[in-house]
Amino acid sequence: MQNILITGGAGYIGSHTVVALHEAGFRPVIIDNLSNSDARVLDGIAHITGTRPSFYRGDCRDIDLLRKIFTQEDIAGVIHFAAYKAVGESVQEPLKYYDNNINALLRVLIASQEHSAGQEHVFPFIFSSSATVYGEADTMPLTEETPRKPATNPYGNTKAIAEDILHDVVHAQRRANASLYATPLHAIALRYFNPIGAHPSAAIGENPHGRPENLVPYLVQAASGRREPLTIYGNDYPTPDGTGVRDYIHVVDLAEAHVAAMQYAFAQTDAPRFDIFNIGTGRGTSVKELIATFEEVTGVNVPHTIGARRPGDVAVCYADTTKAADILGWRARCSIADALRDAWVWEQRQHTTS
Ligand code: NAD
Ligand code: UDP
C-alpha cells in the first residue's frame, strides 16, 4: 500500500480526495494547519471509510515537520492542496497569498525531492491548479493548449507561478544526469473548473469560514435563510440568459480525478515529466440555470436579486476534457442536479448539527 501525503487534506477537495484514495487502496496521510478547516472532518472521513487517516496538524512551510512526516510515513507521492483560495482577500493581502501559496509549494517540493532521492519508483506530485489561469480566453471550450492569460489577481497568479515552478523543476531534472535523481518527479497540474457539492453521505462537505464568495456555498446558505438573498453578479453578459456560465463539477468526481492522476503517474516510466489536465465536465451552466436546477431538485426557493457584474469575472468558462478522458481514463459522472442535491443535504446537516 502506497502512502500518499495530502497537504490541505482537511479542506473541501482534500477531504473528498482522502476518501477516494482510501477507496482506491492508497493510504492517505494528511498535513493541514486547519487555517480554513476543522479537525471534525477527520470524523467524517472515518465515518465514510471506517478508517481514521493519519493526521499532522502543522504548516507546509515548516520543512522540519515535512521531513519528519516524509520519513516517518515513508511517503511515495504527494497531492498538494494546501493554499489560501479567496480571490478578493488575495487582492487585499497579496503578501499573505504569495507567502502561503508559493512557500508551501516550495517546501513540499524540496522535501519531496530530498525524500524520494533514495526510492526506486517515480515520485508523483499532483498540484491543485485552476481554470483561472486561462483568464478571459478568446475561444471556448478551453483546452490545455489554450494560452494562459496574465492573472487578474494575486490568487490566480500564485497558480500560474506554481505551474511554472513545477515546469522548471521537472525540466531541470530532465537536463541533469538522470543518476542525480534516483527518483524522478512526475508532476501533474490539475486545472479545476468549478467544484461543487458534497459527499453523498453528507459526512463531509464544504464549510467556508465567514461569508462564502463562491456561488453554490452562498446559494445554499441563502436558500436556508442563513444569508441575505443571493445577488446574481450581472445579467448582461453575452450568454443565452445574460448570466455567467461556468463548468460545475461534483467534488466526488474531482476527487476521483486525483486517483486517476496518481495511478497514471505511478504507471509511467518516462519521468521526469510534467503534465497538465483540465478537470471539468465539458458543460457550461449559467447562474440562472443553476438556480432553477437547485429549486427543481430540492423544492426550495432561492431568494435572489440582480446586481452589478463582479470585477474580474469572465462571461463564460468551460473545459474541453478530452485529454483527461484519453490519457487518465477519467471523466465526470455526476450531474449538476446530483451535486446541488448533495450540497443541500450537507447544508441542512450543518444547520442541525452546528
Ligand atoms: P480549502 O480551503 O477547503 O482547503 C485547503 C486546506 O489547506 C485547508 O484545510 C487549509 O486549512 C489548508 N492550508 C492552507 N494553507 C496551509 C498551509 N500553509 N499548511 C497546511 N495547511 C494549509 O480549499 P479547497 O477548495 O479544498 O481547495 C484546495 C486547493 O484547490 C487549493 O489549492 C485551491 O486553491 C485549489 N482550487 C480550489 C478551487 C475551488 O473552487 N474550491 C478551484 C480551483 C483550485
Ligand atoms: N456568482 C453570483 N453570485 C455570487 C457568487 C457568484 O452571481 O454570490 C456568479 C459569478 O459571477 C460567476 C458564477 O457565479 O458567474 C461562479 O462564481 P464562483 O465565484 O462560484 O466561481 P468563479 O468565479 O471562480 O468561476
Domain coordinates of the chain in residue numbers?
Answer: 3-196+248-279, 215-247+282-349
Tell whether the model's pLDDT for residue 64 goes beyond 80. Answer: yes
Q: Are 318 and 140 in contact (CB under 8 A)?
A: yes
Single out the residue of 75, 85, 163, 80 nearest to residue 127, CA to CA: 80
At 305 the three-state DSSP class reads: strand
The pLDDT assigned to 20 comes to 98
Least confident interval from 105-109, 270-274, 298-302, 322-326: 270-274
Q: Please compute the mean of the pLDDT values over residues 64-84 and round it to a whole number.
A: 97
| 176 confidence band (pLDDT: 50, 70, 90) | confident
Tell whether the model's pLDDT for residue 43 goes beyond 50. Answer: yes
Q: How many angstroms separate the CA atoms of 113 and 109, rounded?
A: 6
* CA–CA distances in Å: residue 85 to residues 8, 56, 106: 12, 21, 17
Q: How many angstroms separate the alpha carbon of residue 300 from the centre of ligand 2?
A: 20
| 236 confidence band (pLDDT: 50, 70, 90) | very high
155, 181, 218, 248: the catalytic one is 155
Contacts of 271 (CB under 8 A, 6+ apart): 122, 123, 184, 185, 186, 265
pLDDT in tens, 3-19: 999 999 999 999 999 99
Tell whether the model's pLDDT for residue 291 goes beyond 90. Answer: yes
| CATH code of the domain occupying 215-247+282-349 | 3.90.25.10
Q: Is 239 in the pocket of ligand 1 (CB under 6 A)?
A: no
Tell me which amino acid residue 299 is.
G
Residue labelled with grid coordinates 522548471 = 168
Q: How many angstroms separate the alpha carbon of residue 83 from the centre of ligand 1?
A: 5
| 41 confidence band (pLDDT: 50, 70, 90) | very high
pLDDT in tens, 328-344: 999 999 999 999 999 99
| 180 confidence band (pLDDT: 50, 70, 90) | low
| pTM beyond 0.75 | yes
The pLDDT assigned to 352 comes to 65
Other Cβ atoms within 10 Å of 271 Cβ, number: 22
The pLDDT assigned to 326 comes to 98
Tell whether the model's pLDDT for residue 21 goes beyond 60. Answer: yes
Q: Is 131 in the pocket of ligand 2 (CB under 6 A)?
A: no
Q: Is 213 in the pocket of ligand 2 (CB under 6 A)?
A: yes
The pLDDT assigned to 354 comes to 47
- Percent of the chain predicted with pLDDT > 90: 89
CA gyration radius for the chain? 20
Q: Is 288 in the pocket of ligand 2 (CB under 6 A)?
A: no
Least confident interval from 132-136, 205-209, 325-329: 205-209
Q: How many angstroms separate the alpha carbon of residue 154 from the centre of ligand 2?
A: 18
Q: How many angstroms separate the CA atoms of 171 and 152, rounded?
A: 27
Same fold, 3-196+248-279 and 215-247+282-349: no
The pLDDT assigned to 181 comes to 54
* CA–CA distances in Å: residue 112 to residues 4, 69, 96, 257, 335: 11, 11, 24, 22, 36
Strands 285-286 and 245-246: antiparallel
Tell whether the model's pLDDT for residue 267 goes beyond 90. Answer: yes
CATH of 3-196+248-279, one of 3.30.428.10, 3.40.50.970, 3.40.50.720, 3.20.20.370: 3.40.50.720
Q: Which atom of ligand 2 is nearest to the CA of 286?
A: 15
Q: Which residue is closest in CA terms to ligand 2's atom 14?
A: 215
Torsion sign across C-alpha atoms 150, 156, 157, 163: negative
| 270 confidence band (pLDDT: 50, 70, 90) | confident
Most ligand 2 atoms within 8 A of CB, residue of 128, 132, 214, 218 to mutate: 214
The DSSP code for 216 is H
At 82 the three-state DSSP class reads: coil
The DSSP code for 238 is S
Q: Please compute the mean of the pLDDT values over residues 206-222 and round it to a whole number.
A: 92
Q: Which residue is closest in CA terms to ligand 1's atom 34?
A: 85
Tell me which amino acid residue 301 is.
N
Q: How many angstroms separate the CA atoms of 284 and 324, rounded?
A: 17
Q: Please compute the mean of the pLDDT values over residues 89-114 and round it to a whole number.
A: 97
Tell whether the model's pLDDT for residue 259 goes beyond 70. Answer: yes
Stronger pLDDT, 116 or 148, i.e. the higher one:
148
Q: How many angstroms separate the alpha carbon of residue 11 from the centre of ligand 1?
A: 6
Tell whether the model's pLDDT for residue 256 goes beyond 60. Answer: yes
Helices (H), the chain: 12-23, 41-49, 63-73, 87-92, 94-97, 103-116, 154-175, 215-223, 251-267, 287-298, 322-323, 336-353
Tell whether the model's pLDDT for residue 353 goes beyond 80. Answer: no
Most ligand 1 atoms within 8 A of CB, residue of 16, 19, 29, 32 to mutate: 32
- Concerning whether 56 is annotated as a catalytic residue, the answer is no
- Percent of the chain predicted with pLDDT > 70: 96
Q: Please compute the mean of the pLDDT values over residues 155-162 and round it to a whole number.
A: 98
Edge-to-edge strand list for the sheet holding 245-246: 285-286, 245-246, 316-317
The pLDDT assigned to 69 comes to 98
By CB atoms closer than 10 A (0-12, 13-18, 19+), residue 110 is middle
Q: Are 9 and 53 in contact (CB under 8 A)?
A: yes
Q: Is 233 in the pocket of ligand 2 (CB under 6 A)?
A: yes
